[in-house]
Every structure is written in structure tokens, then in C-alpha cells.
Structure 1
Amino acid sequence: MIVYTDDAVKASDKIAGYDVDGTIITTKSGNVFPKHTDDWQILYAEVPKKLKLLHESGYKICFFTNQGGIGSGKIKLDDFKRKTKDILKKVGVPIQVFIAIEDGQYRKPLTGMWKHLVEHRNDNIGIDLGKSFYVGDAAGRPESGSGKTKRRKDHSLADRRFAANIGVSFYTPEEHFLNRPTEQYLKPDYQPSEVVTNMNIIPLLEPDNVKLPADNSEMIIMVGLPGSGKSFFCKQHWEKHDYVIANADKLGTTQSCLKICEKALAAGKSCVVDNTNVDVESRKKFLALAKQYNVSCRCFVMNVQLDLVRHNIKYRHLTDSNHSKINEMVFNMMKKKYTEPTVGEGFTHIIKVNLKPSFQSKADEELYKLYLLEK
């Protein structure tokens, strides 16, 4: 993260926060992304007037911007610094600018930039969240209008979720600068804080009278996308009952998993296939093996909605550097292939597993409760 502070900036308990691209400025060229450093202009004539009025009312004005292009080398830092100074000169008020240049805790919607403001860049003056607000164009609005009035859908929800994570009021540029009515947006299907709140209310399994473990040797096939919690469930509920866990991430191949399972079943032990097993074909070989050894095969399906799976993946990347990153293209391919298991495949029972996250620390829990996804 990089911070630029105008010499005339003063600390305040009231923060007027803004995104930059699409909120304070837009491109002169009309392109979504600027062609060069000087391809920008103030978004609306009302922008400088509004900022001046807020400054005179005792607000500290702060910009919070994601600029991953700097971290990747696509944008030169010196060019962006010059652009930032030119923008501040144009708006004509003292401003403090927070720039997230890489993925991680500082990139919106995560709150690292805001925390840095609170803890290190406001002269120890506490911030009143009720008086503060944030304005941004990444608000999750759908496409609207037609012809010359057509507006593209917003590229993400990063700004709206940044405000929600902080706990301040949120406005789009049009609501804030042009006093337009509140705009509609695509609301998320999940709230991570509710997952934590509800985890002691919902049952772990559906139906909730399932017996763990079984009385006799059996095979368990887990089903779920990466990040749905399969391995965590196996560690919590199968390892302690001496089930042999076959995991392709650790063993390398499906064939290796089959060998491990066959060895367990031949010895009269139970085994668990801890892979994604997203389609009928990937489950068929293991079901055939269970049939060969005349043991029952139960299917445990992770009952986790898609956005929450993606949230879990992001959380894992932020908290566990040892875990390999999941390629988005591979994830989408698995999502496309996903086929709900049925008893017709040869399962004796199909059991749904609800997500009940566990945390190493209070800080990890608080992180999980934030919106981590930009869209």
C-alpha cells in the first residue's frame, strides 16, 4: 500500500471517503480503462464543489483506490503519483490518498486501507462512523437504459462492500454528486456474518439423525467444489474414527486414491474419498470398488452455496499461505461439470453437510465475517 498526504490535510472525526476511477474521474477517451496517464477528466462538474463544501464543513477527504496495475508493473508508480497530484490540484482541496497496489488485506473490499487510516494516519483522533460515508462506482448496479443513455453494469461490488465492511453509509457518484434517487443493485445471496451467527443453530447434517461412524466397513464419497469444506469435515469427523482418507491433492492422482481405498477395504477398514467428485463419471470408479468389496457407499454432499464457496477460497488464501491457489478457470470448469449425486448411482444414502466454520483466532473469525469478494 502507498499513502499520499497533501500538506494541508487535517485530521477529523468525520471522513468523506471516495473511490477514484469512475467516481472522481473518468476517461477522456470514453474507454473503460485509460489509454495513457493523461487520459482522465473530472467525472462531474459538481465534484470539486461538493468536495470543497465538505472540506469547509470539517470533513477530512480521503481517496481509497485499488491499483493492482502498479503491483504487476503495468502502471509505472511515478506516472500514477503525477496523475494523483494533478487530480488533487484539479479538485482544489487537501486530500489523503490510500492506494492498494497488490491483492491482500489492503485491496477493497477488505478494510486494510481504512484500518491504516484509523490507526496511523489520523493523529489519534477517533472516527465517527455515523458521520462518515463512502462513495464509489463499484456498486453492483445492473445494466440500464438504452441507446445514448445506456449504462454498463458495474464491474463489481467492491466499493459497496468496502463501505459495508467498515460500517459507514454508501452512495454511488450519481446519488452523492447529482442527488439522484437511490439506485437498485444486485444484492448478494449470502452474508458471511450470518454464516457465523447461524452455525450453532443449523444442524451439521441433513437428515440430522445420521450415524457417524457406521457399524461396519464402508466407503464414503465426499462431493463438493473446492473451498466447500470437504477436507475440514473429513479431518473433524472421519479421522477420529480411523477412516482412511484418500485425497487426490495429497496423493497426486485418482488412481492413487483408488489404491488407498482398495487397501483399506481389503483390510476391513472404512475409507473416505476426499476429492471434489463433481460428476457421475468421477464417482463411478469408487462406487464400483465398493461394490467389488461388498460394502455400502454413502455420499456426503457439501451443502454450500456458490458465492460462499468462493468466499471460503478467498478466506483460505488470506489465512493459509501453504494452501495452493485455485485457478479461476479450473474452478469454473468444475462448476460447469457439477452434477448432483443420486441413489441411482449406487449410493445407499445421500447426506447433506452444512457449513460450520471453525477459527484459530478471534481475528480470523472477524475476517471471515467481512465481505471478501469484489463481485
Structure 2
Amino acid sequence: MSPGGFSRLSSTNSKRDTPDSERVSPPPLKRKAAAQSTISKNAVANFFTPTSQKPKDRTTWTERSPNSDTPATLLVGKYVPDKEENSKSATLTKERTKIAAFDFDSTLIAPASGKRHAHDAADWKWWHHSVPGRLRQMYNDEGYQVVVFTNQGGLTLHPDPKSKTPKIHQTRVPAFKQKCGVVLAQLDIPITVYAATGKDIFRKPRPGMWNEMKADYDLDDSDIDLEHCIFIGDAGGRAAEVKGGATIPKDFSCSDRNLADNIGIKFQTPDEFFLGEAPRAFTRDFDVTSFEYTEPDDKDSVVFEKTNKQDVVLFVGPPGAGKSSFYWKHLEPLSYWRINQDILKSKEKCFKEAADGLKVGASIIIDNTNPDPEIRAQWIELAKKHKVPIRCVWFKTPLQLCEHNDAVRSLNKQLNPESRSSLPKLAFNGFASRFKEPKIKEGFQDIVEVDFKFQGTKEEFNIWARYWL
């Protein structure tokens, strides 16, 4: 056999008869340094080390569900150093009433490759060399409980076996756990990581991860020193800025700052907290602070009156505009029959139910979005057929406010009497792409315009007036 592992066969000459110049093998090719360094001596030694002698992984992982009816979407990793596993500080965490919460990517760590996203579990470095020392100082010297709140939408804890998602995505959870385990081991302080993988109550800026943390550490609101708590993250809504001739891009969102506002604690970006830089200007796409609560006034609440013995009322407005709430407050007391496609499940059933109501002399309300003249014309034609007038109520609620309302409704049972699920972004964009302002000339007797005004108690407003998107 030759050094390359292949026999040199000849029909005329044996190896013995081959000239020396032909028998000498070429020198082996030198491997690139990068290829030689992929397997370290420590890795080889660790491979042959018996399991009982390998260092224990100090991070334990659990999964949480937003409710009992849905699969788990929150991944929780708890790290306890070996020296503190049985110590008082590892169990009586209620003694620590100050919380220092951090985002993970682009706050504690960054890709070592310089790419926007890490390509594997080993592609990371500290965001700044001061990060580990500062976190240890907060835990050891300043009495903080340190936690991590991170949105990890690229992870799927329980992939659908019928899904066409590439199998490579199924390796992301183990890789994330591996990376976290190494990062936490280098910090070597008691710390818990909360990773939200879905678009539910756990996802920042929603308060789900904060509430899970309170339960894990046995903390009530009255126990926590909110004045001295802090959340550090890179999603601060900062505007783009030119610095030293280079353009610093704007933040991809304001979710970290909004989470801190929802909780009622101080917020800083990594640049401010670790580097001591001055705060940059920031903006929010949707700011709930522009809305104020007003006490319900029955005298001012009558915005719709019945003017016909029998008629059809057609709602026009995007999902989340407040149409159903308007019905229950203003039209249900007037004995209108409600026709709603979310309930009846098809347009055909809506038309049949409406026709049946008109036949028996009932007035009906079409509680659907009805964005364009084409769909509205079908209802106008139905009213003509039954010889009754048709009126329009146009909900002029801005689209972002509608998305906010939808999120509030779907994530808070007390504000969701019909148990509606959250709608995809497509539902709002689809309405916007089809919407045409309703006109009297379409065949309406009149058009009542409704601007959004929160309807509910002060307690309900306090829930509504958080950041949910």
C-alpha cells in the first residue's frame, strides 16, 4: 500500500521493478492552521474522561407554558455555582430584593465572528471585557439578584412533526443551551436565564418573564425594591446617529425599554451601563403615554341612536378597532342582532343569519371589517332586498392602536370575554391594503364616525396602558 492507502498495480512491472524516481511519494500536503485547531487537546482528553469524572453542568433547564392549553414556549436555565449549591444564598433568594436584569445577545455577548448573528454555539465573546466583572460585582458586592430576559424567536421548543421547517432549526435549542452553559459558567454566579421563544405573554415587552422570575424567587411586588432595580438591553428605540464619521444605526425595536417601563424600573442600554456613555435620543412607534384615562360619563357616551324601526347597521374598521365593544355598549341594548364572522366562521353563514333576522323583523348589525366597496355592496343589496335602510358606523382607529388593542385583548383574560386569539400581522396589513373610505353614495342612509376612546374601569385601563407590542 502507498502512503495514501491505495495499491499501485501494473500489468507489466512489480513494485520491485519500479524506478526509484517513480516510487518516491510526494510530501504530504500541509493542513491549514484553522483545520488543525478545530480539535483541542482538552477536547480529546475530555472525550476519553469517564462521565463520572467530568465536571458537572451547573445549568438546569426547564420549560414553561403560558397556560395549561398550550405547549411550552419559555425556556428557563438556572445556574448555581458548585460552591453555592447547598448554601443559604442559593435557596433563600428572597433576601435579594434588588433585581439586575439583562438582555443576552448584543448586551452580555456578541458574535466573535463579527457577523450579525452567531453561526454556532462557540461563536461568541463578551460584549465588552468589563461585562463579567461588573455582573459579579453586582451579585457579590451590591446584593443584586442577576437574571437574563431574552427574546429567542428563532428557537422552537416543540416543532410540529408535520412542519416543513428545515431540520437544522431543530438543533438551535441544544446549541443555545450549550452557549448559555458556557457563558454562565464563566460568570460563575447564581443566575437564571429566561428565553421567550413564542409570541405570547413571555415575549418582551410583555411582563411574562418578569412574573415567572418573581414566582421562581418567591418575590411579591411588595418585596421588590423597584427603585433600585434595573434592566439593561440594546432594544431601546434609539434613533440613528453619526459619531466619528460613522453612522450608528437605529435600534431594531424599543422592546427592552418598554419592558422596563411596564415593570416600573430603570432602563439603560449596554453603552450607558457598561461604558458610561450619555443616553441617545429614542422614539417609540406607538406610545401609550399619549392616552389618559377618563371616567365614564353616561351623558357623553350616547354616540349612536336608533333612527329606524328596522334597519341594517354595517361596521367598517380594522381588527381591534373596538367594534365588538361598541356593539355591546351601544347596540345590544337596542336589541340589534349581531352578525359576526369570527363566530359564524364563514361569509355564507353571515348572510344567511342576517337574512333570517330581517325576515322576522329584527334589526341587525354586521360586526365585520368590511374594508372595501365590493363587500359593502353585498350588504347594501341585502338591505334593499328586504326594503330596509342601511347605516354605516366607521371606526377611524389607527392601525398600530388596533394591533395594540388586539394584543391586550388576547393576552388578558379579564379583557377578553369572547376568548379571542391574537391575530397575525397579515390581518392588519390585509385590511389596510383593501380599505376604501365609506361614502354615502354607496347607498348608506348615514355614516357615523367613531374615534377610539378606551371604555372600561381604571384597573382595566392600567392593563391596557402598558406596552404589549
Instruction: Identify the TM-score tier after normalising by the shorter chain.
Output: 0.7 to 0.9
1:305 corresponding residue in structure 2: 398
Pick closer, same or farther for the CA change 1:98–1:255 going to 2, 3 Å: closer
Name the counterpart of 2:62: none
- Report if aligned partners of 2:454, 2:461 keep a CA contact under 8 Å in 1: no
Count of residue pairs brought into register by the alignment: 367
- Which one has a bigger Cα radius of gyration? 2
In 2, Cα distance between the equivalents of 1:111 and 1:209?
A: 35
Instruction: Pick the aligned partner of 2:252 from 140, 155, 180.
Output: 155
- Match 1:270 to one of 354, 363, 369: 363
Specify the SS of the correspondent of 1:83: helix
Q: Describe the SS at the equivalent of 2:259.
A: helix
Partner of 2:270: 173
Structure-2 change in CA distance of 1:93 and 1:338 (3 Å): same
Aligned counterpart in structure 2 of residue 43 of structure 1, from 124, 127, 143: 127
Residue in structure 2 matched with residue 138 of structure 1 by the alignment: 235
Q: 1:117 is aligned with what amino acid?
A: M
In the alignment, structure 1 residue 71 sits paired with structure 2 residue 145: no
Q: Aligned in 2, Cα 1:106/1:202: closer, same or farther, shift over 3 Å?
A: farther
Query: Residues 53 and 242 from structure 1, CA distance in 2 versus in 1: closer, same or farther, beyond 3 angstroms?
Result: same
Counterpart of 2:79 in structure 1 is 5
Aligned match of 2:114: 30
Match of residue 227 from structure 1:
320
> Is 2:146 aligned against 1:61?
yes
Report what 1:14 is aligned to.
98
Cα gap change, 1:201 to 1:181, in 2 (>3 Å): farther
The DSSP-based 3-state class of the residue aligned with 1:64 is strand
Matches of 1:34 and 1:72, distance apart in 2: 22
- State the AA in 2 paired with 1:30: G
Contact 1:222 1:230 in 2 (8 A): yes
For residue 285 of structure 1, what is the aligned residue in structure 2?
378
- Residue deviations 1:191-237, cap 9 Å, x none? 17946x236269876xx5542x2342111110111122222322343
Cα distance in 2 for residues equivalent to 1:201 and 1:86? 59
Query: Greater CA deviation, 101-110 or 56-65?
Result: 101-110
2:427 to 325, 330, 340: 330
Change (3 A) 1:47 1:350: same
SS of residue matched to 1:272: strand
Q: Counterpart amino acid of 2:430?
A: M
Q: Is the 8 A contact 2:399 2:428 kept in 1?
A: no
| 2:204 paired residue among 67, 92, 108 | 108
d(CA) in 2 for partners of 1:325, 1:110: 14
Q: Which residue of 2 aligns with 1:342?
A: 439
1:280 and 1:145 map into 2 onto residues whose CA distance is 47
* Identity, % of aligned positions: 30
Q: 1: CA distance between counterparts of 2:264 and 2:219?
A: 21
Output the amino acid matched with 2:142.
S
What's the CA shift string for 1:98-144, capped at 9, x where partnerless? 33344433322122222233343167792211111111111222344
Q: Distance in 2 between matches of 1:247 and 1:291?
A: 20
Instruction: For residue 182 of structure 2, give the secondary structure of its aligned residue in structure 1.
Output: helix
The 3-state SS of whatever aligns with 1:351 is strand
Looking at structure 2, the residues matched to 186 and 153 of structure 1 have their Cα atoms a distance apart, in angstroms, of: 10
Residue of 193, 207, 211 corresponding to 1:97:
193
Work out whether 1:217 is the aligned partner of 2:300: no
Range moving further from structure 2, 260-269 or 343-352:
260-269
Q: Judging changes above 3 Å, is the alpha-carbon distance between structure 1 residues 90 and 335 closer, same or farther for their aligned structure 2 residues?
A: same
Give, as a single letter, the amino acid of the residue that structure 1 aligns with 2:117: F
State how far apart, in whole Å, the 2-side matches of 1:72 and 1:369 are: 33
Query: Aligned to 2:227, what secondary structure does the other structure show?
Result: coil
Tell me which moved more, 83-92 or 34-43: 83-92
- Work out the CA distance in 1 between the residues paired with 2:347 and 2:373: 14
Could you tell me how far apart the structure 1 residues matched to 2:431 and 2:244 are? 37
TM-score, reference length from structure 1: 0.84
- 1:213-271 superposed Cα distances (whole Å, 9 cap, x missing partner): 23421111101111222223223432332322222233344344334334434444322
Gaps of 5+ in 1: none
TM-score (norm 2): 0.69
Alpha-carbon distance in 2 for matches of 1:343, 1:215:
17
Distance of 1:275 and 1:210 partners within structure 2: 18
Distance 1:209-1:109 versus aligned 2 partners, 3 A rule: closer
How far apart, in 2, do the equivalents of 1:317 and 1:59 lie? 34
Residues in 1 aligned to 2:421 and 2:135: alpha-carbon distance in whole angstroms: 44
Larger RCO: 1 or 2 (CA < 8 Å, sep 6+)? 1
The more displaced of 115-124 and 271-280 is 115-124
> Quick one: structure 1 residues 202 and 224, their matched pair in 2 at CA, closer, same or farther if it must change by over 3 Å?
farther
- The one-letter amino acid paired with 2:125 is Q
- Shift of residue 309, structure 1, vs aligned partner: 1.1
Any stretches of 5+ residues in structure 2 without a counterpart? Answer: 1-73, 160-168
C-alpha separation in 2, matches of 1:62 and 1:245: 48
Counterpart-to-counterpart distance in 2, 1:204 and 1:349: 21
Q: Is the 8 A contact 2:314 2:366 kept in 1?
A: yes
Q: Equivalents in 2 of 1:268, 1:122: separation in Å?
A: 59
Instruction: Provide the rounded CA distance (Å) in 2 between the counterparts of 1:41 and 1:258.
Output: 61
CA gap 1:165/1:241 in 2 versus in 1, 3 angstroms: same
